[in-house]
Amino acid sequence: MTEVILEGYYTDETAKNLVEKMQGKTFMNFNITYSGGVNCSIVVSTEREDTSKEELLGMFVYCGLNLLADS
């Protein structure tokens, strides 16, 4: 398993929206969890073998930007 932690000041609502829109997406089958509370940290992971943290983060950002552009 590979995971990246997106630390920041994400709201609970933002984290929930990310899970709703990105969970299970792409060939990496994103798994997204978050800490909850006022300042959420978001954890993105994949079970895909031989995936580096850089590849995971890059695909997550790419997918997120495409979703944003399509809305």
In this predicted structure, the answer to whether residue 47 has a pLDDT above a threshold of 90 is yes
**Residue 8: pLDDT band with limits 50, 70, 90:** confident
Residues 36, 38, 39: CA angle, nearest 5 degrees: 80
The pLDDT value recorded for residue 36 is: 77
Give the count of domains, the chain: 1
**What does DSSP assign to residue 5?**
E
What gap in Å lies between CA 35 and CA 54, rounded to an integer?
22
The pLDDT value recorded for residue 38 is: 74
The pLDDT value recorded for residue 20 is: 94
In this predicted model, what pLDDT tens digit does every residue of 9-46 receive, in sequence order?
A: 888 898 999 999 999 999 999 999 998 777 889 999 99
Print the domain residue range for 45: 2-70
